[in-house]
């Protein structure tokens, strides 16, 4: 039997504090544990948990059921790369996604996916933009969703240490979300395609592992301070774009359009690297690595 975290006296005290109005999040912070452990202590103390009455609707189970759907995998990857989870002063985690310009339409789709009725914030970003730059943002509080996202590596203060977890390292939908968030793709002046991703060293290595299992490219990681990047160019970049974006149900529109052009690039060059766009391509072409 697993050992109990608290004594009977402590659990009784936790129950009394909860009944007096303190939240499970506050108690978890006070006792240096998590809200689930506090919930267990309350059950053993015979104290029923309070129902949370929300002002807005939210499907807190959007990322709960494994394996994740295409949309869930994609949006988890997008949050990993370009979203945020941070603790409010109350101790509760707030999940946010903000995208600029025309990309803001994807924020609305994310809000619809999680069943949220929270307000879409549309503002003009003035810092660094003399004429302003519009952005769209949605944010909401959910301990349950934050816990589910953490199983895949979407955690607070993740920019320097983020690592993909929970099997997502082999999901093309997850990596498409990451590229849409913190990646880039396009064509050089010579007409050569390229595709890159930036993030923590661990996540960039994982992305390299993913694409080296699909294309025979050996690519070095690039470093700029605490941020790392990896870039694929040429035919390999076009093959990777096809793997990520072909037949996808959700993607950033402007990057999806570039990916389609990259697929045309392959067709014109009589492509002989065949992938079917499935997760099964991972591991077929594993190559040695360089740093």
- 178: closest CA among 97, 69, 81, 68? 81
For residue 218, is it left (φ>0), alpha (ψ between -120 and 50) or beta? beta
3-state secondary structure of 283: coil
pTM score, whole prediction? 0.77
Of 120-134, 200-214, 258-272, which one has max mean pLDDT? 200-214
Omega cis (within 30) before 143: no
State the CATH class of domain 172-281: alpha beta
CB atoms inside a 10 Å sphere around CB 59: 13
- Give 189's Cβ-side CA count (13 Å radius): 0
State the CATH class of domain 70-158: alpha beta
pLDDT in the model for residue 113: 97
pLDDT in the model for residue 54: 62
- 281: closest CA among 219, 195, 212, 229? 212
Domain residue limits, the chain: 8-44, 70-158, 172-281
Task: Give the single-character DSSP code of 273.
Answer: -
pLDDT in tens, 213-239: 998 778 899 999 889 999 999 999 999
pLDDT in tens, 157-180: 877 889 999 999 999 999 999 999
Alpha-carbon span 272 to 255, nearest angstrom:
24
pLDDT in tens, 255-283: 999 999 999 999 887 555 544 443 433 33
Rounded to an integer, the average pLDDT of 9-16 is: 90
């Amino acid at each position: 039997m697993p050992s109990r975290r608290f004594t009977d006296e402590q659990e009784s005290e936790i129950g009394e504090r909860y009944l007096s109005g303190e939240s499970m999040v506050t108690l978890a912070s006070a006792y240096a544990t998590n809200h689930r452990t506090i919930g267990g202590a309350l059950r053993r103390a015979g104290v029923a948990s309070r129902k949370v009455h929300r002002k807005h609707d939210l499907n807190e189970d959007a990322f709960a059921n494994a394996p994740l759907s295409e949309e869930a995998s994609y949006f988890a990857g997008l949050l990993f790369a370009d979203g945020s989870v941070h603790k409010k002063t109350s101790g509760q985690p707030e999940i946010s996604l903000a995208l600029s310009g025309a990309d803001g339409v994807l924020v609305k789709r994310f809000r619809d996916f999680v069943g949220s009725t929270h307000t879409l914030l549309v503002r003009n970003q003035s810092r660094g933009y003399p004429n302003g730059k519009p952005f769209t943002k949605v944010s909401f509080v959910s301990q349950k969703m934050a816990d589910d996202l953490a199983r895949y590596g979407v955690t607070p203060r993740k920019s320097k240490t983020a690592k993909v977890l929970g099997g997502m390292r082999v999901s093309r939908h997850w990596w498409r979300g990451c590229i849409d968030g913190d990646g880039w793709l396009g064509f050089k002046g010579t007409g050569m395609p390229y595709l890159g991703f930036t993030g923590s060293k661990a996540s960039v290595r994982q992305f390299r592992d993913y694409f080296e299992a699909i294309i025979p490219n050996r690519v070095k990681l690039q470093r700029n301070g605490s941020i790392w990047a990896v870039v694929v160019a040429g035919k390999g970049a076009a093959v990777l774009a096809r793997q990520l974006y072909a037949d996808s149900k959700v993607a950033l529109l402007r990057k999806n359009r570039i990916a389609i052009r990259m697929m045309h690039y392959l067709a014109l060059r009589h492509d002989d690297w065949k992938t079917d766009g499935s997760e099964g391509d991972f591991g077929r072409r594993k190559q040695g690595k360089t740093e």
